[in-house]
Amino acid sequence: MDYGFSAADEVFRGEAREWLLSHADSGQDRRAWERTLGKSGWIGLGWPESGYGNRSATLTQQVAWAEEYARSSAPPRSGHIGENLLAPTLIAHGTDAQKSRFLPAIAAGDELWCQGYSEPGAGSDLAGVRTVAVREANGYRISGQKIWTSLAHEADWCFVLARTEAGSRRHHGLSFLLVPMDQPGRVEVRPIRQLTGTSEFNEVFFDGALASGEHLVGGEGGGWSVAMSLLGFERGVSTLAQQIGFARELGRVVEAAVASGAVLDPVLRDRLVRQWAELRTMRWNALRTLGRAGDAGAPSVAKLLWGGWHQRLGELAMAVRGPEAAVGPVDWSPSLSYELDLLQHLFLFSRADTIYGGSDQVQRTIIAERVLGLPREPKGVV
């Protein structure tokens, strides 16, 4: 099918394979890959505006690109937070100066971003912000802590939700600030070691970090509406690409079931078929809601579907391997470092699927209140 891209762009698959063969999976190499994508205009396809070094693409073309990227086993993205979250937010709420300053750098793959939302003690309650930003002559001085900050150890910038009105509560008095990460002594990043032994998530400490007044998005006190707008951009064509990755993982689990003989067990075979059927259902649901605006429950339904599905797949990956699933590919070292194979990593990492990005409990509350019209849950003084 012709999706409207030039035939010359088919070289992308070859470029991805060649790049993977010649680069290790390090932060520096992922940054180089972002620049490779940027040179060809592959960053920012879904932006409602072009002219920042990005290509203009229809929704169908965006789906084709996302799916082909996943099928090519291209390198993991480091720039997706800036591309898919911040950029659409700046286009919707930013000034012309802010768009001119930040969007070309994102489109070129030159600047990477992280998201400063979650805080210790607040769980999935985004309105429980305690990080403070005090206004000064040239901007804001920020103090506080963020947690579970994806890729903060590689990021150049962080968009931070902070409290700019003293004594304000909940969603009042919040502002959305763009903060440079390179501030020694004022911004500290501490990687969090996970069950998998990796550290994609981080704690970030702001000790008097500075943000320019020109980098306030949506006006002082307008942070809540900007933050909610940004969360709405988290769904889209990326869901379909994610499902291609899920299908690849399911294929590995089926191969493991055949190799171990577990496929002969009617109970495990039924679970495998159910996983396949549920994945197809998720795809059709994603296609049904793709591009639809104003559906308050669609993102929450999608998150509940894929989070639970992926977690069950991890459990099934261990079940089909039997006792062998508990043995790592190499012996543990005295320093307690360890390695996991792909299915073990799937099982351990997927334990977080029903928590990050909004826990299952939060998603069910959103559906209950905003879709079903049930009484709102008490949340204290507002």
> What span, in angstroms and rounded, lies between the C-alpha atoms of 8 and 14?
11
Element (H, E) at 304: helix 298-319
SS3 178: strand
Per the DSSP assignment, residues forming a β-bridge with 217 are 176
What φ, ψ does residue 247 adopt, rounded to 5°? Answer: -65, -35
Annotated catalytic residue: which of 234, 249, 278, 369? 234
CA dihedral 114, 147, 145, 382 (to 10 degrees): 100
315 flagged as catalytic: no
Reading the block at residue 24, the tokens are: 């290790």
The string over 269-308, giving b where at least 16 C-beta atoms fall within 10 Å of a residue's C-beta and e elsewhere, is: eebbeebeebbeebbebbeebbeeeeeebbbbbbbbbbbe
Task: Calculate the alpha carbon distances from 128 to 71, 118, 229, 312 in Å.
Answer: 39, 9, 18, 31
Residue with tokens 């035939």: 7
Other residues' Cβ atoms within 10 Å of the Cβ of residue 350: 20
Residue 161 DSSP code: E
Number of residues that this document lists for the chain: 382
Task: State whether residue 293 is helix, strand or coil.
Answer: coil
Interhelix angle 59-71/11-22, nearest 10 degrees? 40
| DSSP assigned state of 147 | -
**Which single residue is written with the structure tokens 């150049």?**
156
Name the one residue in this structure whose structure tokens are 């869901």.
239
Residues known to be catalytic = 234
